[in-house]
Amino acid sequence: MCGIFGAVITSDSRLRPLEKAAARLFTLSESRGKEAAGIALAGDRALSVYKAAIPASEMIRRRGYRALLREAGEVSAFIGHSRLVTDGDREVNKNNQPVIADSVIGIHNGIIVNHAALWAGHPDLHRHYEVDSEIIFALVRDQLARGAGLTEAAQRTFAELQGAASIAALFEDRDQLLLATNTGSLYYRVSVDGSTFVFASERWIMDRFADEHAALLGDAETVHIRAGEGAIIDPQTRSLERFTLAAGGGGHPSATRATRRKIVDHAEPDPPRPPPPRSSTAIDLVQLEQRFPYVSMRGRLRRCVRCVLPETMPFVDFDTDGVCSYCRNHQPIHVRGHEALEALVATYRRTDGRPDCIVGVSGGRDSMYGLHYLKTVLGMNPVAYTYDWGMVTDLARRNVSRICGQLGVEHILVSADIPRKREYIRKNVEAWLAKPSLGTVPLFMAGDKAYFHFLAKGREQLGVELSFMCENLLERTDFKTGFAGVAPFHDENHVYTQSLGNKVALAAFYAKQFATNPRYLNASMLDTAKAFAFYYLIDRDYHNLYSFIDWDEPTIERTLIDIYGFELATDTTSTWRIGDGTAAFYNYIYYAVAGMTEHDTFRSNQIRNGAMTRDRALDLLDLYNRPRFPSIHEYLQTIRLERSLEEVLEIIARVPKRWGVDG
């Protein structure tokens, strides 16, 4: 998730002066997190920390940062961090990284999902911040205080962690750099003359930096610190000792020079907090459920007698027997089978430990099970990839971390400019509320469509030829473009497809909406245009895992929950769409106006493919089409909408119903 990097350098290293090299590592790592940045410098007399709640590309231009690097003196090592915020408010700068845990300064890529339990289980440790990373370095410090060597301290710490962790740490009282990872997101190079050691979160970042410093690092090889491994580097002796994180794995590192450096925190002052939006007003759930009650569509809508599609489904019609056109025209899904999948991956499988494929993961059940299948069933060595556009929920991020941590899978996250993306969403939600139309609801999700572009870019950077998406072929949501007047288009291998004619028709629909609702003519327009291109115009050179294997919902849920502890949302028992921050809001709109949601189309496809009975589907619709007011409230707060939840719900309630009931 976050980007971490650093270096150990001797006095004669050609990486000096540090300012230019550190700035380049920051800019290369910024794609992994743009919400805060920081650096720690290790000198003979001090460990100096500088951090700010701004993107790294801005921080490196700050006067305080540049002065610190110029005046730092004889620095033997530095570590840097480019942050994607999970736990810990970025406006409280102590939550940003590097984290200062008494005598340890550390940086962390990943999420620790059991940090609250660890603090409770170690009452002798004192928590100072909100960020989950603090517990890692507090545990390391505690183990060192109890007499453990650094290797043993890292091993004992990682034995307690749940989630993903790739770390680097410097120490007040020992001249060493500790690196360790349970996902394999650490790479390094050592110059041939031994004067310079550099590490980064990704091989591509390490290789790119080395290419730009070819005279120093060009003849060195990039070395991977694999999942379950660590390394300790001594700046004085230039020694590098590798160890495993398994208990008893690896000897005790040689003694290091003891130091008594003071820690000097040069962190920028906390930035002013923006005033809370009106959407942050606390909600009374009981009152909301009374004012905006759930209305079951059973008996209120005509439904297909075979599936559960209602009469409000775009482009639906019923024959004299009551069978809908979607059932009459249904083409069964024929997966190619496990043997075909084995034959496909066989030509790409590697035996040297290098990645052999990249798989897109969103934190949802389909992609996380796909990652499990590729790693444990097929025996591949995948790298997981996520594009975080600002609406990947913290729940989804935690599920990615807990599963990647257990599988030992490297996770590459590409972060958008999240505050800006959320601003774009807010502007389009405000435009929609001014003139509601079901056809323009997908504009709320336009920001995530660069997902496909960065998947291809990630494959190129990794140097692999095989990429997977995990698109459940039963999850067709053609009704979303159907409300824009675009008929469904069938593709047996991919969910996200349209014919050329449909693409033209959809573009014409949006052009008309923009012309009749000037609020859509806002700063998000270029981003929306790019989204259309990413979604409909670029080639998608990837394989869909679920075109090879059956989508077995019970097996998927049991695997994720029982083996990996897959976390569920607090306002629904469903495992579907809980990692998408927009889903609760748009499904509420669709249900309020059309009496249907994604659940109606999904369950209907399950019925057609023999995976569910119609009666069971109707029961599930009554369960999962209910409003998720807490999630909607969180969504409005996240995008900082200047309307309360009640105001928004009132606007939606006034939209003319397609199901003929003013409820």
Q: Residue 492 has what pLDDT? A: 56
- At 569, is the pLDDT very low, low, confident or very high (cuts 50, 70, 90)? very high
Per-residue tokens: 225:
């610190």
Q: Residue 493 has what pLDDT? A: 52
3-state SS assignment for residue 46: strand
Residues 214 and 344 placed together within one structural domain of the fold: no
Full domain range(s) for residue 476: 331-595+627-654
Average pLDDT over residues 95-100: 92
Pairing assessment for the beta strands 382-388 and 357-360 based on DSSP bridges: parallel
Residues 102 and 217 placed together within one structural domain of the fold: yes
Q: Residue 661 has what pLDDT? A: 47
Q: Residue 427 has what pLDDT? A: 95
Residues β-bridged to residue 467: 358
Q: What is the pLDDT of residues 371-408, one digit of tens each?
A: 999 999 999 999 999 999 999 999 999 999 999 999 99
- Residue 480 corresponds to which amino acid? K
Give the residue among 105, 106, 53, 115 at the shortest CA–CA distance from 84: 53
Q: Residue 542 has what pLDDT? A: 93
Q: CB of 268 within 8 A of CB of 64?
A: yes
Q: Is residue 576 part of a domain?
A: yes
- At 180, is the pLDDT very low, low, confident or very high (cuts 50, 70, 90)? very high
Average pLDDT over residues 196-224: 95
- Residue 527 corresponds to which amino acid? D
Average pLDDT over residues 434-450: 91
Residues β-bridged to residue 198: 7, 189
Q: Residue 498 has what pLDDT? A: 66
**Pairwise CA distance, residues 82 & 88, whole Å:** 15
Average pLDDT over residues 352-376: 96
C-alpha to C-alpha distances, 470 to 358, 382, 544, nearest whole angstrom: 11, 13, 5
* Out of 465-469, 596-600, 656-660, least confident range: 656-660
% of the chain with per-residue pLDDT over 70: 96
Q: Residue 252 has what pLDDT? A: 55
Q: Is residue 660 part of a domain?
A: no
Residues 353 and 250 placed together within one structural domain of the fold: no
Q: Residue 583 has what pLDDT? A: 95
Residues 208 and 88 placed together within one structural domain of the fold: yes
* Out of 147-156, 186-195, 532-541, 595-604, least confident range: 532-541
Q: What is the pLDDT of residues 520-543, one digit of tens each?
A: 999 998 888 888 777 777 777 899
Q: Which of 250, 265, 280 is the last residue of a domain?
A: 265
CB neighbours of residue 350 within 10 Å = 12
Q: Is residue 55 part of a domain?
A: yes
- Residue 178 sits in a domain of what CATH number? 3.60.20.10
Per-residue tokens: 87:
């736990």
Per-residue tokens: 305:
């007698």
Roughly how many angstroms between the first and final C-alpha of the chain, as a whole number? 44
Q: Is residue 293 part of a domain?
A: no
- At 500, is the pLDDT very low, low, confident or very high (cuts 50, 70, 90)? confident
Residues 252 and 359 placed together within one structural domain of the fold: no
Structural domain count, the chain: 2
Q: Which of 265, 290, 309 is the last residue of a domain?
A: 265
**Pairwise CA distance, residues 52 & 68, whole Å:** 13
Q: Is residue 392 part of a domain?
A: yes
- List, as one string, the DSSP characters of 62-80: SHHHHHHHHH--S--EEEE
- Residue 384 sits in a domain of what CATH number? 3.40.50.620
Q: Residue 662 has what pLDDT? A: 40
Strand arrangement of the beta sheet that strand 382-388 belongs to: 411-415, 382-388, 357-360, 467-469, 543-544
Average pLDDT over residues 551-555: 95
- Residue 189 corresponds to which amino acid? R
Q: Is residue 310 part of a domain?
A: no
262 sits in which H/E element? strand 262-265
% of the chain with per-residue pLDDT over 90: 74
The yes-or-no verdict on residue 164 having pLDDT over 70 is yes
Give the residue among 568, 554, 562, 561 at the shortest CA–CA distance from 612: 554
Q: What is the pLDDT of residues 221-268, one digit of tens each?
A: 999 999 999 999 998 888 999 999 997 765 555 566 667 788 888 888
- Residue 145 corresponds to which amino acid? A
Q: Residue 476 has what pLDDT? A: 84
Residues 229 and 86 placed together within one structural domain of the fold: yes
- Cα dihedral 125→126→127→132 (10° resolution): -10
Residues 252 and 382 placed together within one structural domain of the fold: no
Q: Is residue 541 part of a domain?
A: yes
CB neighbours of residue 12 within 10 Å = 9
Q: CB of 562 within 8 A of CB of 622?
A: no
Q: Is residue 355 part of a domain?
A: yes
Residues 459 and 536 placed together within one structural domain of the fold: yes
**Pairwise CA distance, residues 18 & 189, whole Å:** 17
The yes-or-no verdict on residue 118 having pLDDT over 80 is yes
Q: Residue 663 has what pLDDT? A: 35
Average pLDDT over residues 363-374: 97
Q: Residue 488 has what pLDDT? A: 78
Residues 85 and 178 placed together within one structural domain of the fold: yes
Q: What is the pLDDT of residues 627-647, one digit of tens each?
A: 999 999 999 999 999 999 999
Q: Which of 265, 286, 303 is the last residue of a domain?
A: 265
The yes-or-no verdict on residue 310 having pLDDT over 50 is yes
Per-residue tokens: 168:
């680097």
- At 450, is the pLDDT very low, low, confident or very high (cuts 50, 70, 90)? confident
